[in-house]
Amino acid sequence: MPTININRKVFERYVGKKLSTEKLKDRISYLGTDLEDVNDEEIVVEIFPDRPDMLSVQGFARAFSSFIGLKTGLRHYKVEHSNEKMIVDKSVANVRPYTACAIVKDMRFDDEKIKEVIDIQEKLHITYGRHRKKIAIGIYPFEKIKTPITFLAQNPKDIIFQPLEFPKKINALQILKQHPAGKEYGHLLEGKEMFPVFRDANGEVLSVPPIINSHRTGKISEKTRDVFIECSGFDLRVLEKCLNIIVCALYEMGGKIYSMDLSYGNKKQVTPDLKPEEMKVDIDYVNKWLGLNLNESEIKKLFERMGYGYRNKKALIPAYRADIIHQVDLAEDIAIAYGYENFEAVIPQVATIAEENKFEIFKSKIAHLLVGLNFLETSTYNLANKEVQCKKMNAEIALISLANSISSDYNVLRAWVIPSLIEILSNNKHHEYPQKIFTIGTIFKQNNKFETNIEENERLAVAVASEKTDYTEIKQVLDYLFRSLDLKYEIKEAEHSSFIEGRVARVNAKGKNVAYIGEINPQVIENWELETPVTAFELNLTELFEVI
């Protein structure tokens, strides 16, 4: 999740008040942001993905000052109409169909502010923009652009310009190969015959979204006063929200917002639209959901603490809020304004009957039987690797692989549990013998009778490592278990390459093969660099439970 590092002085200027570090710590946590660090110079906060509007110092300070009761209620952002035009050509329909744009004038940029703007853009790209997949944002010095601007799709070979911070003009295909941004985001245009491009009235390239701006027309400097901003992507609603978030932050930096006329063929649109959205509030619903008893004027006050307006049983949602899709979202903001710390903890008197899962009870009883026989229970991972499951066990067993594990130590689902125990024995050679251990764990195998096409079984694996262990000893354990379960079983001779030939058997209970038992093959013992004999069995508890 994204964190923002903000200058404490700048923050306090926007908030309009200085607060003690203690107070800051407390309030930031209860606003719905996760405080990472605060010191005299800097505040580091984690912003949750539902609040992209707080990814700038302006946005964060705005929410904060409302929350502490300083500047409450809906803020008004004046938007003037600029008469500047953006023509969206139908050719973009299949590559990047939408854009929302605006002009912000009278920005007084300095190094600090330029950094802030680039920061907002980058944070939004990564989070709300899903690494530019959903939204690409471009911010340009408006004075270098001649309107109307056209958004169109062209053959990338015909899009030739000098990309940002690059020494020369190249075409858009070359950008993907040569420019760092091209290499990073090129996959977003992979396979496209036509690339989206913004061009001004002189045909000058402004940018190829979502990759890179032009060096000439796409770089703001201290001399820039007015900026042109565009967001492009696939969901107009999302693009408008993103644009709103940016222009509101720029407005708070001192800029003046101007809207633009967009034309999609005959369809006209004006962006940005900073009119608050209205949502009906059912006060009873909110009270019931939160367990509160708030009246309308209290509700109104709480809304205002979260930067909303409230009028005629309707919440006026600020245009920069991207996360309000249902009344429960309003309820949460009411709860935050009310203060999570102020909610009483109430355990209601609701009579329900407790019920422990039967199979879990069974497993626990089995574990306690083994504990009674002096076995130590171990707790083993479900993920393993082929080396452990097959190669070192001298066995060929079908394994289900993971698609993307970052470690080769655990990239398959285990198909049996004995290897987990042998691995433990191998890691504990320096400890006292005899070593008698067991574990109950899940195994996985392909089976399309299941919803997941994978069958999961719970298995009990038991192993003994000691100088004197033999088939008799391990069979005594199995006998004891079955006797305790009042269940009969049959032993059949079996073959299993992990065990010694002639000292391995299959266990059959009520017609089902439920276990393997035997002395572990010396080859396996050698593979694991063990120096004592090992005996083991593995019992399918899922199947056994079914026949009991």
C-alpha span between 211 and 58 (Å, rounded): 27
Among 376, 491, 547, 548, the residue binding another protein under the rule CB under 8 A is 376
According to the binding rule CB under 8 A, does residue 405 interact with another protein? yes
The CA–CA distances, whole Å, from 91 to 189, 199, 409 equal 15, 14, 49
Q: Nearer to another protein by C-beta: 96 or 179?
A: 96
C-alpha span between 296 and 328 (Å, rounded): 17
Q: What angle do CA 448, 385, 500 make, to 5 degrees?
A: 90
Q: How far is C-alpha 64 from the geometric centre of its chain's CA atoms?
A: 25
The site for another protein, by CB under 8 A, has a size of 94
* Region binding another protein by CB under 8 A among candidate stretches 28-36, 71-79, 210-218, 268-276: 28-36
Q: Nearer to another protein by C-beta: 20 or 374?
A: 374
Q: Nearer to another protein by C-beta: 79 or 337?
A: 337
The continuous run of DSSP H or E covering 140 comes out as strand 135-141
Q: Which of residues 125-184 bind another protein (CB under 8 A)?
A: 127, 130, 133-134
According to the binding rule CB under 8 A, does residue 427 interact with another protein? yes
Q: How many CB atoms lie within 10 A of CB 252?
A: 17
Among 201, 402, 547, 548, the residue binding another protein under the rule CB under 8 A is 402
According to the binding rule CB under 8 A, does residue 50 interact with another protein? yes
| Shortest separation between residue 53's beta carbon and another protein, angstroms | 13
Among 344, 396, 495, 529, the residue binding another protein under the rule CB under 8 A is 344
Polymer length in residues for the chain: 548
Among 118, 201, 270, 400, the residue binding another protein under the rule CB under 8 A is 400
According to the binding rule CB under 8 A, does residue 378 interact with another protein? yes
Strand 227-233 and strand 534-540: the pairing is: unpaired
Q: What is the dihedral of CA 389, 395, 399, 401, to 10 degrees?
A: 50
Among 49, 69, 180, 254, the residue binding another protein under the rule CB under 8 A is 49
Let me know: does 283 contact 314? Beta carbons within 8 Å.
no
Q: Which residues of 511-538 are buried (b: 16+ CB within 10 A; e: fewer)?
A: eeebbbbbbbbeebbebbebebbbbbbb
According to the binding rule CB under 8 A, does residue 284 interact with another protein? no
Q: Nearer to another protein by C-beta: 107 or 390?
A: 390
Q: Which of residues 296-325 bind another protein (CB under 8 A)?
A: 325
Q: Nearer to another protein by C-beta: 202 or 346?
A: 346
| Shortest separation between residue 389's beta carbon and another protein, angstroms | 15
User: Phi and psi for 334 in degrees, rounded to 5?
Assistant: -60, -40
The residue behind tokens 């013992």 is 525
According to the binding rule CB under 8 A, does residue 29 interact with another protein? yes
| Shortest separation between residue 127's beta carbon and another protein, angstroms | 8
Residue among 383, 547, 518, 536 at smallest CA distance from 465: 536
Q: Nearer to another protein by C-beta: 211 or 413?
A: 413
Contact code string over 434-473 relative to another protein, x by CB under 8 A: -xxx-x--x-x-x-x--xxxx-x-----------------
According to the binding rule CB under 8 A, does residue 267 interact with another protein? no
Q: Nearer to another protein by C-beta: 312 or 349?
A: 349
Among 167, 191, 348, 511, the residue binding another protein under the rule CB under 8 A is 348
Q: What is the dihedral of CA 276, 280, 282, 288, to 10 degrees?
A: -60
Among 375, 482, 528, 537, the residue binding another protein under the rule CB under 8 A is 375
Q: Which of residues 480-539 bind another protein (CB under 8 A)?
A: none
Q: Nearer to another protein by C-beta: 44 or 383?
A: 383
* Region binding another protein by CB under 8 A among candidate stretches 12-20, 155-163, 263-271, 364-372: 364-372
Residue among 174, 168, 181, 191 at smallest CA distance from 138: 181
Residue among 310, 321, 340, 237 at smallest CA distance from 31: 340
The residue behind tokens 């110092």 is 57
CB half-sphere exposure, 226, CA atoms < 13 A: 14
* Region binding another protein by CB under 8 A among candidate stretches 32-40, 213-221, 255-263, 298-306: 32-40
Which residues 6+ apart lie within 8 Å of 349 measured at CB? none
According to the binding rule CB under 8 A, does residue 347 interact with another protein? yes
According to the binding rule CB under 8 A, does residue 343 interact with another protein? yes
Among 270, 371, 547, 548, the residue binding another protein under the rule CB under 8 A is 371
